[in-house]
Amino acid sequence: MRKFGNFIFGAFLGGLVGSSLALLFAPTAGDNARQEIVDYFTHIKEEVNRAADDKRAELVAQLDALRSGK
């Protein structure tokens, strides 16, 4: 049980040190970084939706062609 307690303490201490170093060496402020992440994922979401719409239109056209026998 002592080994498990040491492991938990080490994991907690490592997380604390790691997060502190990440905050110290972050290239931008927290608000700016969060906004960049939101913008990036919004852009990715829009691209995925656009690709899905294009593929859906392509598949509908193929299905219509198959139904009409062309």
Number of domains into which the chain is organized: 1
CA end-to-end span of the chain, whole Å?
72
Burial 23-48 (b: 16+ CB within 10 A, else e): eeeeeeeeeeeeeeeeeeeeeeeeee
Q: pTM value?
A: 0.53
Per-residue pLDDT of the chain in tens (70 residues, 90 and over written 9): 688 888 998 999 999 999 888 877 877 777 888 888 899 999 999 999 999 999 999 999 999 999 998 6
Q: What is the DSSP letter of 28?
A: S
Domain with 64, as residue range(s), is 2-68
